[in-house]
C-alpha cells in the first residue's frame, strides 16, 4: 500500500509559543501519515514521566498500523513504542527516576499492581499493556509521556550503546518470549523461523541460548536470508524460489520441525507452520495478523501439537539487558540504516521497502 504524506497546518500557542509544541509522526487513516506539530505532552498522573526522545525506531507493527490492521489506532495518534531518552519531568509519585536520568522505554506499560502484572502478564495490565503508539501517543516524537514510569522504564548506565538498547524496547523480548519461550526450544531441537525480518532474526539470535541442533530460516528475501546465515541459521530457504514444505521435510527426514516460529503475520506463513510441524511440536505465533487464517484441525487434531499466541510481556527485558551489557548478545547488528528523527517519512519509505533497501532496523536520532 502506498502511504500518503499529509501537510497539515502548524499548531501554535498564543501564550508560550514554541515551548508547548513538538514534532511527531501522526497516523490519520490507512495509508495516511504526517510529520507535524503536536502539543508537547504533560504529566497526567503523579506516576507519569515525560521523556525526551534521543533515539527511536520503526517496528513491523507500525507498518501493520499504517495498513489499517490495528483498528484501535485512531486518527491523530502519534505512532511508536520503542526508544531511549532522558527524563524531562517526573511525577511526584515516581521514585526510581528523576529529571536528567537516561532511560530505556519498554514497549509495554505496566502498573505492577494489577492481577495480570502480578502474573507477569504485563501485556494485559489493566491500566497499561501495549498502549504506546496504540491507545495513547507514542515514541516517534520529540517527547513522550510514559505512564507508570517506575515499572515501564529501565535506567541506562553511562557509556551504554543506546542504539543497541533500542532493540530491547520490543524486538528482542518479542522474539525471545513469543517465539523461543512459547516455542519451548530445547537443546538438540530442529526449529524453523518463518520470516527473517527484525523480530524473526531476534528469535534466531535468542534461540541460540538453548543450542538447537538445526535452525531453518524461511523468507522470500535473499538478502535477509544471507543475514540469517551470518546470525547462526544452519539452513535457509527462499520460499519464492523453492517449495518450502518439501525442503523442510527433506532436511528433517520427513519428520518436520520441533518448533515453528511464525514471524510474519499472514495466512500463508501460519499455514506453512502447520504443514512443517512434527508430531508433538510447538507452533509459536509472533506475527500481527490483520486477517483470519485457516486452522487445519483435520490434520493436526491427532498430532499432539501446541499452538501459542502472545503479546510480548517484556518480563525478560532485565535478563536480555544483562546479556547485551556483557556482550553475549549483540543486537546492534540488526541496525542497517540511520536517520534524523525529522527524516522519519524517508525512514518509513526505506523500512517499508525493506527488500529493495536491504533494511532491517532503522535508528532515528532526535538532534
* Angle between helix 267-276 and 244-251 (nearest 10): 30
> What pLDDT sits at residue 159?
85
Q: Where are the beta strands (DSSP E) in 240-357?
A: 257-262, 277-285, 306-308, 335-340
Determine the Cα–Cα distance for residues 185 and 215; give it in Å rounded to an integer.
11
The phi, psi pair for 345, rounded to 5°, reads: -65, -45
Determine the Cα–Cα distance for residues 119 and 152; give it in Å rounded to an integer.
16
Residue in the block written with cell 538532534: 367
> What pLDDT sits at residue 9?
42
Listed by start position, the domains of the chain span 4-170+314-365, 173-308
Torsion of CA 236, 186, 183, 80, to 10 degrees: -70
> What pLDDT sits at residue 19?
73
- Cα–Cα distances in Å, from 21 out to 15, 52, 106? 12, 13, 24
Helix (H, G, I), strand (E, B) or coil at 128: coil
> What pLDDT sits at residue 76?
97
Answer yes or no: is pLDDT of 11 > 80: no
What number is the average pLDDT over the span 338-356?
95
Strands 306-308 and 277-285: parallel
Mean per-residue pLDDT of the chain: 94
Band (8; pLDDT cuts 50, 70, 90): very low
Determine the Cα–Cα distance for residues 179 and 193; give it in Å rounded to an integer.
9
CATH number for the region 4-170+314-365 comes to 3.90.180.10
Strands 257-262 and 277-285: parallel
Band (6; pLDDT cuts 50, 70, 90): low
> What pLDDT sits at residue 317?
95
Three cell numbers, residue 301: 487434531
Adjacent-strand bridge partners of 38: 22
> What pLDDT sits at residue 202?
97
Three cell numbers, residue 288: 500481527
Band (2; pLDDT cuts 50, 70, 90): very low
pLDDT in tens, 216-275: 999 999 999 999 999 999 999 999 999 999 999 999 999 999 999 999 999 999 999 999
Band (14; pLDDT cuts 50, 70, 90): very low
pLDDT in tens, 99-143: 999 999 999 999 999 999 999 999 999 999 999 999 999 999 999
SS (H, E, C) 80-124: CCCEEEEEEEECCCCCCCCCCCEEEECCCECCCCCHHHHCCCHHH
Predicted structure pTM score = 0.91
pLDDT in tens, 43-65: 999 999 999 999 999 999 999 99
Band (5; pLDDT cuts 50, 70, 90): low
**Residue 192 near residue 275, CB atoms below 8 Å:** no
Residue in the block written with cell 511508536: 80
Answer yes or no: is pLDDT of 277 > 70: yes
pLDDT in tens, 149-176: 999 999 998 888 999 999 999 999 999 9
> What pLDDT sits at residue 367?
81
**Residue 88 near residue 73, CB atoms below 8 Å:** no
> What pLDDT sits at residue 336?
96
Determine the Cα–Cα distance for residues 40 and 33; give it in Å rounded to an integer.
19
> What pLDDT sits at residue 213?
98
What number is the average pLDDT over the span 312-335?
93
> What pLDDT sits at residue 40?
97
* Angle between helix 222-231 and 198-207 (nearest 10): 20
The CATH number of 173-308, from 3.40.50.720, 3.90.550.10, 1.10.260.40, 3.40.605.10, is 3.40.50.720
Q: Is the dihedral of CA 130, 133, 138, 140 positive or negative?
A: positive
Determine the Cα–Cα distance for residues 145 and 40; give it in Å rounded to an integer.
9
> What pLDDT sits at residue 298?
96
Answer yes or no: is pLDDT of 17 > 50: no
Rounded percentage of the chain residues whose pLDDT exceeds 70: 95
Determine the Cα–Cα distance for residues 121 and 309; give it in Å rounded to an integer.
13
- Within 10 angstroms of residue 166's Cβ, the number of other Cβ atoms is 28
Amino acid at each position: 500500500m502506498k502511504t500518503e504524506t499529509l501537510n497539515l497546518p502548524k499548531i501554535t500557542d498564543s501564550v508560550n509559543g514554541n515551548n508547548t509544541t513538538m514534532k511527531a509522526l501522526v497516523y490519520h487513516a490507512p495509508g495516511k501519515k504526517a510529520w507535524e506539530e503536536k502539543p508537547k505532552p504533560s504529566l497526567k498522573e503523579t506516576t507519569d514521566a515525560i521523556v525526551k526522545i534521543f533515539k527511536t525506531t520503526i517496528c513491523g507493527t507500525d507498518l501493520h498500523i499504517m495498513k489499517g490492521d490495528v483498528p484501535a489506532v485512531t486518527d491523530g495518534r502519534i505512532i511508536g513504542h520503542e526508544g531511549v531518552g532522558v527524563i524531562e519531568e517526573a511525577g511526584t509519585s515516581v521514585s526510581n527516576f528523576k529529571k536528567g536520568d537516561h532511560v530505556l522505554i519498554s514497549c509495554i506499560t505496566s502498573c505492577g499492581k494489577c492481577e495480570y502484572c502480578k502474573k507477569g502478564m504485563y501485556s494485559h495490565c489493566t491500566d497499561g499493556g501495549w498502549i504506546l503508539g496504540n491507545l495513547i501517543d507514542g515514541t516517534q516524537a520529540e517527547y513522550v509521556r510514559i505512564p507508570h514510569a517506575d515499572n515501564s522504564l529501565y535506567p541506562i548506565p553511562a557509556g551504554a550503546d543506546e542504539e543497541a538498547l533500542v532493540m530491547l524496547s520490543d524486538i528482542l523480548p518479542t522474539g525471545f518470549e513469543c517465539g523461543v519461550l512459547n516455542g519451548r526450544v530445547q537443546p538438540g531441537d530442529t526449529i524453523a523461523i518463518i520470516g527473517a525480518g527484525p523480530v524473526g532474526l531476534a528469535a534466531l539470535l535468542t534461540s541460540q541460548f538453548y543450542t538447537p541442533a538445526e535452525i531453518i530460516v524461511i523468507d522470500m528475501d535473499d538478502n535477509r536470508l544471507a543475514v540469517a546465515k551470518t546470525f547462526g541459521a544452519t539452513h535457509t530457504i527462499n520460499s519464492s524460489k523453492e517449495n518450502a514444505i518439501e525442503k523442510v521435510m527433506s532436511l528433517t527426514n520427513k519428520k518436520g520441525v520441533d518448533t515453528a516460529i511464525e514471524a510474519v503475520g499472514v495466512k500463508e506463513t501460519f499455514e506453512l507452520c502447520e504443514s512443517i510441524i512434527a508430531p508433538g511440536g510447538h507452533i509459536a505465533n509472533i506475527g500481527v495478523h490483520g486477517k483470519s487464517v485457516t486452522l487445519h484441525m483435520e490434520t493436526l487434531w491427532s498430532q499432539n501439537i501446541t499452538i501459542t499466541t502472545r503479546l510480548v510481556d517484556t518480563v525478560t527485558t532485565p535478563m536480555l539487558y544483562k546479556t547485551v551489557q556483557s556482550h553475549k548478545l549483540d543486537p546492534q547488528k540488526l541496525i542497517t540504516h540511520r536517520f534524523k528523527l525529522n527524516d522519519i517519512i524517508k525512514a518509513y519509505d526505506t523500512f517499508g521497502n525493506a527488500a529493495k533497501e536491504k533494511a532491517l532496523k532503522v535508528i532515528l536520532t532526535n538532534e
